[in-house]
């Protein structure tokens, strides 16, 4: 079982506390399909503006998401898209 599958199971079985759900956001853990929608909207908003690093980052992020299934969870932060692993998940959920 991957960390993404474990998180999906926890969410589907309503096993996360409100604080843990907030921590997912704080740790930039997002579902691929939600992140795709966000980045597409961001690209659309930025496409007619003068050069923006945000535009380039959004395009690169969207491109990186092609390596993942829509129902997977990933980390998206200033370094780009990263596969969710158990170390990150455990830290985000404050599991020892």
CA atoms within 13 A on the CB side of 15: 10
Sheet order of strands, 73-77 included = 29-31, 73-77, 80-83
Structure confidence at residue 49 (pLDDT): 77
Q: What is the pLDDT of residues 21-67, one digit of tens each?
A: 999 999 999 999 999 999 999 999 988 777 678 888 999 999 999 99
Q: What is the pLDDT of residues 70-81, one digit of tens each?
A: 999 999 998 999
Q: Where are the alpha helices (DSSP H) in 1-96?
A: 3-12, 18-26, 32-46, 53-64, 86-93
Domain parsing of the chain, residue ranges:
3-93
Buried b (16+ CB within 10 A) or exposed e, 26-40: ebbbbbbeebbeebe
- pTM, rounded to two decimals: 0.89
H or E element, residue 80: strand 80-83
């Amino acid at each position: 079982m991957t960390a993404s599958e474990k998180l999906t199971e926890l969410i589907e079985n309503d096993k996360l506390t409100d604080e843990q759900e907030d921590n997912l956001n704080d740790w930039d853990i997002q579902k691929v399909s939600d992140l795709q929608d966000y980045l597409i909207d961001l690209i659309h908003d930025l496409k007619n503006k003068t050069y923006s690093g945000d535009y380039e980052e959004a395009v690169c992020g969207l491109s990186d998401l092609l390596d993942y299934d829509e129902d997977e969870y990933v980390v998206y932060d200033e370094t780009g898209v990263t596969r969710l692993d158990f170390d990150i998940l455990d830290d985000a959920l404050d599991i020892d």
